[in-house]
Amino acid sequence: MRCLDWLENHPRSLRSSAKFFFICVFSFYFSHSFAQSQLNNQKRTSDPAGLTQIKSGLGIIWAMDFINADYLVFTERNGAAGVLNINNGQVDWLDNLPQVYGYGQGGLLDVKTAPDFAQSRWLYFTYAKPFADNARTTLARARLEFVDERFRLADWQDLLISDSLTDSDIHFGSRIAFDGDGHVFFSIGDRGQRANAQNLQNHAGKVLRLTMDGRVPTDNPFAGLNNVKPEIWSYGHRNPQGLFFDSRRVRLWEMEHGPRGGDEINLIVKGGNYGWPVVSQGREYFSGAPVGEPHKAGMIEPVKVYIPSIAPSDLLVYQGERFVQWRGSLFSGALKLQHLNQVVLDEQLRPLLEKRHFESLKQRIRAIAEDDSGRLYIATDNGNIYQWSND
């Protein structure tokens, strides 16, 4: 499994070579001993009590979000998207979707329901948009209509085709978040070229901020400067696959993959530099040497670092009343270490306790959602969706 994780983090050019066999053996030996020595203060809650499977047989579910109490929209990495009735398991598959770049970590990525969805019907998407030689992470939106008893998409609009083209098929990001005040944020990874993350002349390795119709807000930190992309909100990110606007605390949270070790949870501030690749607590896959320095003045420290890496995908701050003791906890999926990760924070937003739920499922958890009544939902790479409730 570790070799599969490695595959997901490396370009196609390396995969078929003899290097791969060597790396698998080497990486298994080192990450095994590393993991054994580093697993320490997490509380394990592996019992899947309260977990109900509500759907199976789907593809690799990349993202999901509720459109109302009964219907969940989801994307599959292969380019499909559907609306699931959570009460009877029926799916309406959506048409009018764009072509996606379906290699490596590319594909159809995030989907989020607009804050004013009940009136506007807008769904926001990110995807790897194919070009002649590779792909660019792209933010788009489309209206979800309900016609002849079926859901369908209309008015697809690409809002920002980002400047993030490289010859690599990794680190597209990408997650979407809304501040509820007229702005949309979305994240893009470094696209396999580390230097991108510190280069303000492209969009790779950044969190971007746009108006809901895709324009640059005049109060963005780099708006109006020469030779800087004005959509940038924060930079120095490796591969952010978690982004969530915490409306209760009025904070933007981000979660990103480190290399070997060094996954991070960050609190995002306007114009902030989050360090990659100058600062990291991760190590090189090959040599085990540190990547960059652990700390540096002027670069923002993560709220939490994971060593070894869990490979986090999706991020949610629990808002509900159902599990009231969890209000304000951060939840994320773990691909490599296969669990639902929970971080309980103290009043100063420092991590107080980490819990790892549902390790006994042994599935890669890539997407999470919360419904109106505070139930949590997790989706796995096995094509399953589960509901977690205390009913």
Q: Which residues are catalytic?
A: 171
Cβ closest to Ca ion, residue 113 vs residue 239: 239
CA–CA distance, 179 with 269 (Å, rounded to integer):
13
Query: What's the min distance (Å) between Cβ of 63 and Ca ion?
Result: 23
Q: Which residue is nearest to Ca ion (CB)?
A: 275
Stretch that binds Ca ion, among 3-11, 142-150, 274-282, 373-381 (CB under 5 A): 274-282
Query: What's the min distance (Å) between Cβ of 104 and Ca ion?
Result: 23
Rounded to 5 degrees, what angle do the CA atoms 122, 333, 90 make?
50
Tally Cβ neighbours within 10 Å of residue 324. 9
Cβ closest to Ca ion, residue 254 vs residue 371: 254
Residue type, 189: G
Q: Is 277 in the site for Ca ion (CB under 5 A)?
A: no
The count of residues interacting with Ca ion (CB under 5 A) is: 2
Stretch that binds Ca ion, among 158-166, 203-211, 272-280, 375-383 (CB under 5 A): 272-280
Query: What's the min distance (Å) between Cβ of 274 and Ca ion?
Result: 4
Cβ closest to Ca ion, residue 259 vs residue 275: 275
Query: What's the min distance (Å) between Cβ of 183 and Ca ion?
Result: 23
CA–CA distance, 198 with 205 (Å, rounded to integer):
8
Query: Which DSSP category does 359 fall into?
Result: G
Query: What's the min distance (Å) between Cβ of 317 and Ca ion?
Result: 20
Query: What's the min distance (Å) between Cβ of 299 and Ca ion?
Result: 7
Nearest to 275, CA basis, from 251, 258, 289, 252 = 258
Cβ closest to Ca ion, residue 181 vs residue 293: 293
Tally Cβ neighbours within 10 Å of residue 212. 18
The DSSP string of 45-70 is E---TTEEEEE-S---EEEEEESSSS
Question: Token match 């960050």: residue?
Answer: 266
Query: What's the min distance (Å) between Cβ of 192 and Ca ion?
Result: 17
The sign of the torsion formed by the CA atoms of 65, 67, 71, 73 equals negative
CA–CA distance, 165 with 136 (Å, rounded to integer):
5
Q: Is 275 in the site for Ca ion (CB under 5 A)?
A: yes
Cβ closest to Ca ion, residue 260 vs residue 357: 260
Query: What's the min distance (Å) between Cβ of 102 and Ca ion?
Result: 29
Task: Tell me the C-alpha to C-alpha distance, in Å, between residue 248 and each of 225, 240, 324, 342, 349.
Answer: 33, 22, 14, 18, 13
Cβ closest to Ca ion, residue 240 vs residue 275: 275
Cβ closest to Ca ion, residue 117 vs residue 274: 274
294 conformational bin, left if phi > 0, alpha if psi -120 to 50, beta if neither = alpha
Q: How many residues does the chain have?
A: 391
Q: Measured in Å, how far apart are the chain's first and last C-alpha atoms?
A: 35
Largest CA distance in the chain: 59
Site for Ca ion in 78-137 (CB under 5 A): none
Structure tokens at 350: 């420092």
Task: Rule CB under 5 A: choose which of 222, 274, 377, 386 binds Ca ion.
Answer: 274
Is the separation of the CB atoms in 254 and 188 below 8 Å?
Answer: no
Tally Cβ neighbours within 10 Å of residue 30. 16
Stretch that binds Ca ion, among 53-61, 223-231, 266-274, 333-341 (CB under 5 A): 266-274
Task: Tell me the C-alpha to C-alpha distance, in Å, between residue 54 and each of 51, 65, 89, 136, 377.
Answer: 9, 15, 6, 34, 9
Cβ closest to Ca ion, residue 51 vs residue 267: 267
Q: Give me the residues that bind Ca ion (CB under 5 A), please.
A: 274-275
